[in-house]
Amino acid sequence: MEGAEGKSQDEILVRLCQNGDKRAFEQLVIRYQDKIFSVIYRFVKDRDTVKDLAQDVFIKAFNSLKGFEGRSSFYTWLYQIAVYTALNHLSLARVRTTRNLEAEEIERGLPDPNAGIGNLLENGYIHGELAQAALAAIEELPEEYKKVFLLKEYEEMSYEEIAETLNIPIGTVRSRLNRARTELRRVLKVEFQ
């Protein structure tokens, strides 16, 4: 994912940023913007919101850069900010949505539990029953398993990178990932046959 050369270039850019070089920070933004977009999108399926949240991620990163001591790589540190920014947005969105739905519930009845997948189908993003079912099942995973699964299967991060990003032991990464897979297999058993 990140070669040794890339990591050392990051270290140089971070040090320059910490000394007040704003062009160095712009280089870091260009370097990681697509990856940050990608990881946020795995959690937040709205493209406009992804762009706003990605901006928030880089602003938070710049403001916290003085305190970055280099114990982890810059890349996993930035990913950590992105994951928690996305999850924080989701938890706030659920609160807002619930409030709205409570009003709607009175008027129209229970909401469609697959509203997220429904949007993707309407927009033509999903083809194939298996892929559809897989996406729905991943959405329903417990959050602790989902985070690890998305970072591993979608972002293709190593165990070590996931452990650094989520600040959990590598053993916990393995066990949560395996539980996510087992759960998805159980849910998708019918589709697999």
> Smallest Cα–Cα separation from 24: which of 5, 35, 10, 37?
10
How far apart are alpha carbons 122 and 141 in whole angstroms?
Answer: 23
By CB under 8 A, the residues from 1 to 30 that bind other proteins are 20, 22, 25-26, 29-30
120 binds other proteins (CB under 8 A): yes
Q: How far is the CB of 162 from other proteins (least distance, A)?
A: 11
How far apart are alpha carbons 52 and 155 in whole angstroms?
Answer: 20
160 binds other proteins (CB under 8 A): no
By CB under 8 A, the residues from 165 to 184 that bind other proteins are 174, 177-178, 181, 184
> Smallest Cα–Cα separation from 34: which of 58, 17, 13, 5?
58
104 binds other proteins (CB under 8 A): no
* Residue 16: Cβ-neighbour burial (10 angstroms; 0-12, 13-18, 19+): middle
* Residue 191: Cβ-neighbour burial (10 angstroms; 0-12, 13-18, 19+): middle
| 163 neighbors 138 (Cβ within 8 angstroms) | no
125 binds other proteins (CB under 8 A): yes
154 binds other proteins (CB under 8 A): yes
94 binds other proteins (CB under 8 A): no
Given the complex with other proteins, which of 13 and 177 has the nearer CB atom? Answer: 177
Q: Which chain residues interact with other proteins by CB under 8 A?
A: 20, 22, 25-26, 29-30, 33-34, 37-38, 41-42, 47, 50-51, 54-55, 58-59, 62-63, 120, 125-128, 130-131, 133-135, 138, 152-154, 159, 174, 177-178, 181, 184-185, 188-189, 192
